[in-house]
Chain A
Amino acid sequence: MEPPDADALVMLEATAATPANGVARLLPIWSRQIETSRRQTEDAIIALTDRFSAIVQRIDAALSAHGTGSQSTETGSDAQHSRNDLALVIDALKAIQLSRNELVGQIRTLTTYTAELHKMATEVDQIGFRTNMLSLNAAIEAAHAGESGKGFAVVATEVRALSNAARDTGKQIMKKVGLISEALGQIGRSNEEVAARDDQAVQASDERIRCVLARFERSTAALTASAEQSHTESAAIKAEICESLVQLQFQDRVGQILSQVVASMNDLTTQTAQSSCAAEAAQLATEHAERMMSTYTTAEQRLNHQGIETTSVEQSAVTFF
């Protein structure tokens, strides 16, 4: 509490001829004290309001930078895109695997053809053998015929040579077919081994991709939840600050009431100073009180004037014309 204004009290004692004059001397002091308090409150509230306003703007900036709603959607969309892309990779690997399996099937078909070729080469050899037997019999018959069979013996000899050549060719074909068959068999076995390894690799890749995606989705879900919580908390803090700002409106109302009190005290000081006796001062005070009614701006000022206690202030009444 501030000490009394000593100079003012000395002046009051020296000059106060009547109680009215004494009050008139005190009024300017009270007026100045009230005005100082009003000004200090106003300055503090304005500074506080500016600070709150700056905090609200920073929260707004942070909220718009987070943009959590769209962010969580984007994260979900990214995960879906990643899943789709990796599924395409697996599909491509499976397509390669399928092509290899088709190749293995074609090689198996070729192997069956080589068996047929081997059979045909064996038949060529048999035909050569039987032709050889035939030419041998023909040579024997030509010898029995004597001089007249000599020409036929030459033909039988040539036929025998041809049958031997056919048998040799048949054997060579069988040998080559055997080699081809063996090579095809080896290729087929190698392909099957590679295909089996490919199957395992594709399955392992598929499994790993699923694991990576699951971990990624767990991480993004946690991040999204954290961002959403942060957004919710920030919005709640902003709402609290905005509500606090609304409450600070009391300064405007209190300021108006105090301004009216100061103006009224100054007015009364001037009038009382002009009065020459206590009766005149009392009359002036009564008239002044009546005039004060027209200078009030709030409902509680009017109620206070009438001696009715004011408990709360009604908020936000709106009237449309």
Chain B
Amino acid sequence: MAKRILLVDDSASVRTVAGIALRGAGYEVVEAANGQEGLTRLNGERIHLIISDVNMPVLDGIGFLKEVKKHPSYKFTPVIMLTTEAGEDKKQEGRAAGAKAWITKPFQPQVMLDAVSKLVMA
């Protein structure tokens, strides 16, 4: 059975680029446009890995990540942050909140796929 990935980003173009790469690699993809929508998606699907932007409206990526880590079914689900944020402080904030990897945009799809493959198998 294909692994299902939740992709949270307010940029439709980024969701499209990442979605094509992930689906092409055989993953199922569930999309959300912000952290709040991402939390809603978690309640309706079985998710094996989460990819999230940081700067988003309504609920940002770090806030979303903290909520995910409180969720009884998803506290151990690996989360990759996919963001324009390259600052070390922000990365450490993401690490402290429970992120497993940090990828800066713009990204090459293969780099993202390699990280997904490594974490989804773990």
> Judging by beta carbons under 8 Å apart, are A56 and B104 in contact?
no
* In the assembled complex, B58 has its CB within 8 A of some CB on chain A: no
Decide: B84 and A256 in contact? CB cutoff 8 A: yes
Is B20 an interface position by the 8 A CB rule?
yes
B11, A298: Cβ atoms closer than 8 Å: no
What's the Cα separation between A255 and B56 when bound, in Å?
A: 12
Residues in A neighbouring B101, C-beta threshold 8 A:
318-321
Does the CB pair B11–A252 fall under 8 Å? yes
Interface flag for B100 (CB, 8 Å): yes
Residues of chain A within 8 A of B83, CB atoms compared: 297
Q: Which residues of A contact B102 (CB under 8 A)?
A: 318-319, 321
Within residues 216 to 268 of chain A, which ones have a CB less than 8 A from any CB in chain B? 242, 245-253, 255-256
Interchain nearest-CB distance for A198 vs B (Å): 60
- For residue B95, CB closer than 8 A to chain A, the reply is yes
Of residues 93 to 110 in B, which have CB atoms within 8 Å of A's CB atoms?
A: 94-95, 99-109
B100 nearest in chain A by CB position? A321
Residues of A with C-beta under 8 A to B112:
316
User: Could you tell me which residues of chain A, from 48 to 62, have a CB within 8 Å of some CB in chain B?
Assistant: 49-50, 52-53, 56, 60
A249 lies within 8 A of B100 (CB):
no
Whether A298 and B86, one on each chain, are in contact in the complex, defined by CB atoms closer than 8 angstroms, is: yes
Among residues 271 to 317 in chain A, which have CB atoms less than 8 Å away from a CB atom of chain B? 297-299, 302, 313-317
B16 CB-CB contact with A under 8 Å:
yes
Across the interface, A252 reaches (CB within 8 A) one of B14, B24, B115, namely B14
Binary contact readout B57-93 vs A (1 if CB under 8 angstroms, 0 otherwise): 0000000000000000000000000011111000100
List of B residues within 8 angstroms of A204 by Cβ: none
- B9 contacts which chain A residues (CB < 8 A)? 252
Name the distance in Å between B35's Cβ and chain A's nearest Cβ: 16
Chain A contributes a number of interface residues (CB within 8 A of B) equal to 33
Name the residue on A nearest B55 (C-beta): A297
Are the CB atoms of B55 and A256 closer together than 8 Å?
Answer: yes
**A314, B86: Cα distance in complex, Å:** 10
Known: A316-B103, A321-B101. Contact between A246 and B109, CB under 8 A?
yes
**Which residue of chain A has the shortest Cβ distance to B20 in the bound complex?**
A56
A50 / chain B contacts, CB cutoff of 8 Å:
12, 16
For the complex, is B111 an interface residue (Cβ under 8 Å from A)? yes
The residues of A that contact B12 with a CB separation of less than 8 Å are 46, 49-50
Q: Which of B14, B84, B99 contacts A298 (CB 8 A)?
A: B84
Q: Are A316 and B55 in contact (CB under 8 A)?
A: no
Specify the chain B residue showing the minimal Cβ separation from A259.
B55
Residues in B neighbouring A247, C-beta threshold 8 A: 106
In the complex, the answer to whether A320 meets B17 with C-beta atoms within 8 Å is no
Q: B104 and A314: CB pair below 8 A?
A: yes
Contact B111 A250 (CB under 8 A): no
Give the interface of B toward A (CB within 8 A): 9, 11-14, 16-17, 19-21, 24, 54-55, 83-87, 91, 94-95, 99-109, 111-112, 114-115, 118
> Shortest 3 CB-CB distances between A and B: which pairs?
A249-B106, A252-B11, A316-B111
Residue contacts A-B, CB under 8 angstroms, 9 given: A49-B13, A49-B16, A52-B16, A60-B24, A249-B14, A253-B84, A319-B103, A321-B95, A321-B100
